[in-house]
């Protein structure tokens, strides 16, 4: 169990926000396989205030998509309070503020991870959030800006001072992006320094690595990001592993195919056939990680436009007795395979 403010979650595993990925279909697939608390895609305060159509769509949800976290990106108090005014008309359980995004076009605007260099400013922005909502506010930070400035402990104390109820930390610096070793020691230091729940992230790619994160950092929860791409079973599998110490069986090709079809249908129903099929293409790649001789089919999947064409390719993935999917062996997905944000 995990408690953030007065909200209690039935699991300590959380689906991390994934820009360009964690739309409603992806969240529903993850929830189907045991995810109990998911985040929507990161939302820019500016785009929200200008009522950008795509941004407003990111707020779409359904009752079974709860509990749900919304994550905001910004660096200006007025925009933050304006965004909250609009957001308060929607239903969600947690509001998170992003001080972790490493992308240059974000940090050059003083947003995301660049706020790690300005802990007082971050505290001010978090106070604005806390004052403008009734739901618990959290922040997401990184271990620091680069290896000469590992200041997560200091940033966490400033953040806690604002009245937030929880802190997410990705154990890499902004400079590391998504590569290199995760710094478990810094996460543990942050956990020991503050009195609010700490949810850790970074290489949460398998039940074993997630257990390692709990064991080495003492964190209260773990945020799962790339580990769930093409592998929504990671939620159920990890719960099982943490409970019994036994690794759940590997998924066979038929189960993966059945999940792909379910995901494709959700994408197409929710986004409309053309957009849904286009968005599903990257999931085709992730679901088929580790499949033999898959490249020609992936190339085909990137060309098709209709659901029936995509179904034809999925149907070609006929079952074989030997071919199984091992998410742990698959390793982290290169970020270039993901949508950039
Ligand atoms: C494609 C992609 C999109 C992401 N989008 C967001 C985002 O919108 N907000 C956020 O806080 N983190 C975002 N992240 C970071 C993840 O939530 C997570 O912190 C990071 O990937 C580390 O976890 P992992 O090593 O287990 O993948 C994104 C990561 C990737 C790869």
Tens of pLDDT, residues 133-147: 999 999 999 999 999
- Same topology for domains 2-244 and 252-325, yes or no? no
| pLDDT value at residue 249 | 82
Q: pLDDT tens digit string along 97-125? A: 999 999 999 999 999 999 999 999 999 99
CA 171–ligand 1 middle distance (angstroms): 12
Q: Which two tokens stand for residue 153?
A: 């402990």
User: pLDDT-based confidence at 319, cuts 50/70/90?
Assistant: low
Q: How many CB atoms lie within 10 A of CB 297?
A: 17
- Our answer on whether the CB atom of 341 is closer than 6 Å to any ligand 1 atom is yes
CATH for 252-325 is 1.10.1200.80
CATH for 2-244 is 3.20.20.70
Q: pLDDT tens digit string along 64-98? A: 999 999 999 999 999 999 999 999 999 999 999 99
pLDDT higher than threshold 70 for residue 205: yes
- Our answer on whether the CB atom of 17 is closer than 6 Å to any ligand 1 atom is yes
| pLDDT value at residue 74 | 98
User: pLDDT-based confidence at 318, cuts 50/70/90?
Assistant: confident
Q: pLDDT tens digit string along 178-200? A: 999 999 999 999 999 999 999 99
% of the chain residues with pLDDT over 70: 93
Q: pTM for the full model?
A: 0.93
Please report the atom of ligand 1 found closest to the CA of residue 226.
27
Please report the atom of ligand 1 found closest to the CA of residue 182.
25
Substitution site in 23, 38, 170 for ligand 1 pocket (most atoms within 8 Å of beta carbon): 170
pLDDT higher than threshold 90 for residue 328: no
Q: How many CB atoms lie within 10 A of CB 132?
A: 17
Average pLDDT over residues 4-9: 97
pLDDT higher than threshold 90 for residue 263: yes
Nearest CA to ligand 1 atom 30: 18
| pLDDT value at residue 321 | 41
Average pLDDT over residues 195-223: 98
Domain boundaries defined on the chain: 2-244, 252-325
% of the chain residues with pLDDT over 90: 90
CA 225–ligand 1 middle distance (angstroms): 6
Q: For residues 257 and 263, what is the distance between their CA atoms, to the nearest angstrom? A: 10
CA dihedral 138, 103, 299, 250 (to 10 degrees): -40
């Amino acid at each position: 169990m995990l408690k953030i403010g007065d909200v209690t979650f039935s699991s300590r595993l959380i689906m991390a926000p994934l820009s360009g990925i964690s739309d409603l279909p992806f969240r529903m697939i993850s929830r189907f396989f045991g995810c109990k608390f998911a985040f929507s895609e990161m939302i820019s305060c500016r785009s929200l205030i200008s009522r950008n159509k795509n941004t407003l769509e990111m707020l779409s949800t359904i009752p079974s998509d709860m509990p749900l976290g919304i994550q905001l990106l910004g660096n200006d108090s007025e925009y933050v309070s304006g965004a909250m005014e609009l957001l308060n008309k929607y239903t969600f359980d947690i509001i998170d503020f992003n001080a972790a995004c490493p992308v240059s076009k974000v940090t050059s605007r003083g947003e995301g991870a660049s706020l790690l260099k300005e802990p007082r400013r971050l505290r001010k922005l978090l106070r604005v959030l806390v004052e403008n909502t009734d739901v618990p506010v959290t922040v997401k930070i990184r271990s620091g800006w680069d290896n000469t400035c590992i200041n997560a402990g200091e940033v966490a104390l400033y953040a806690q001072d604002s009245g937030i109820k929880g802190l997410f930390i990705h154990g890499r610096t902004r400079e590391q992006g998504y590569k290199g070793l995760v710094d478990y020691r810094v996460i543990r230091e942050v956990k020991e320094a503050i009195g609010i729940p700490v949810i850790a992230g970074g290489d949460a790619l398998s039940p074993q690595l997630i257990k390692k994160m709990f064991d080495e950092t003492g964190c209260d929860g773990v945020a799962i990001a790339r580990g769930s791409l093409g592998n929504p079973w990671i939620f159920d599998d990890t719960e099982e592993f943490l409970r019994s110490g036994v690794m759940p069986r590997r998924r066979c090709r038929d189960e993966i195919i059945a999940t792909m079809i379910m995901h494709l249908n959700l994408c197409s129903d929710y986004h409309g056939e053309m957009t849904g099929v286009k968005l599903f293409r990257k999931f085709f790649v992730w679901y088929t990680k580790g499949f033999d001789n898959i490249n020609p089919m992936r190339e085909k999947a990137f060309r098709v436009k209709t659901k029936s064409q995509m179904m034809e390719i999925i149907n070609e993935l006929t079952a074989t007795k030997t071919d199984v999917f091992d998410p742990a062996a698959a390793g982290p997905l290169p970020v270039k395979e993901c949508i950039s944000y």
